[in-house]
Amino acid sequence: MSDKKLIVGNWKMNLTVHEASLYVHTLEKELTTHRNVEVVLAPGMLALPTLALQIDHKKFKLAAQNFYWRDEGAFTGEVSAHQLHGLVKYALVGHSERRHVFHEGDKDIRAKMQAAVRNGITPILCVGETAHERSENETDAVLHDQLIGGLANLTSEEVEAIVIAYEPVWAIGTGNNAAPHDVEAAVASIRRQIEHLYGKKASDLRVIYGGSVSGASAGSYLRTPGVDGLLPGGASLKKEEFTEIIEAAHKAGKGKKA
Ligand code: PEP
């Protein structure tokens, strides 16, 4: 497992290809590269080929926000992990907007996890409870079901190499970010459950937090035990704030080998 802090900016359905290209151009100029931080951009699908040609791959890696689990065939309008191979290093799987707006279930999610791994792309499996589930004390149970549901097709070695993003649904895009001690508890629960299902080595996988992360709050999560990085959405579209998050990751990761 890498000791680098992982920062993944999810741009969601924002920015045209032209805007994305301009944004990366300014980001690239203003961002300092740190050996202990891996910066990943998840732009809209259309911008991926342009950014893949444009970016300094030592500064940024790319991620897909979504893909279809079959490799090829009669699936009009879809893009496969096989087609994304070579363009992206990572891909989000099971983001709460995919689960709740597009009704993706465990069956789709585990097929996508397997498709990403099969095509040499590191999947970032997003898991997290709704506000109602939290109020009913069901967070651990929800995480358990989402982990079992999403990881069922993978081996322990494959699980060890993926990334899990703990993203409580109530914290995404709401400005209502989770308290670091709640994130610590949820991340510990994720690691415990992975250890139980896939063994000690696999439980050392990278776990990151997402949910209304800002430049100001980033440091508190990055210093939280068990948290290996962040998945900011809104804040990743604001140059100053995204830069602040990366600097916070650099500071939090100091002293660790890159
Ligand atoms: C996300 O897109 O996964 C996310 C956490 O968004 P935001 O930071 O805007 O809440």
pLDDT digits (tens, 9 = 90+) for 19-28: 999 999 999 9
pLDDT in tens, 203-229: 999 999 999 999 999 999 999 999 999
8 A C-beta contact, residue 231 and residue 8:
yes
Helix, strand, or coil (residue 228): coil
8 A C-beta contact, residue 222 and residue 213:
no
Catalytic site residues? 95, 167
From atom 6 of ligand 1, which residue's Cα is the shortest distance away?
A: 233
Q: From residue 109, how far is each of 12, 14, 24, 125, 127 by CA, in Å?
A: 18, 23, 30, 8, 11
pLDDT in tens, 98-142: 999 999 999 999 999 999 999 999 999 999 999 999 999 999 999
Looking at residue 74, what DSSP letter applies? S
Q: 94-119 burial string, b = 16+ CB within 10 Å, else e?
A: bbbbbbeeeebebebbbbbbbbbbeb
pLDDT greater than 60 at residue 255: no
5-252 CATH: 3.20.20.70
pLDDT number for residue 256: 52
The pick from 231, 237, 244 for probing ligand 1's pocket by mutation, whose C-beta has the most ligand atoms within 8 angstroms, reads 231
The pick from 12, 101, 172, 174 for probing ligand 1's pocket by mutation, whose C-beta has the most ligand atoms within 8 angstroms, reads 172
pLDDT number for residue 253: 84
Site of tokens 């709640």: 182
What's the whole-model pTM score? 0.96
Ligand 1 centre from 72 Cα, in Å? 30
Of 253, 240, 182, 229, nearest in space to 63 by CA: 229
138: its two tokens: 């069901």
Ligand 1 centre from 149 Cα, in Å? 22
Residue 250: partners with Cβ closer than 8 Å, 6 or more residues away: 5, 32, 34, 36, 37
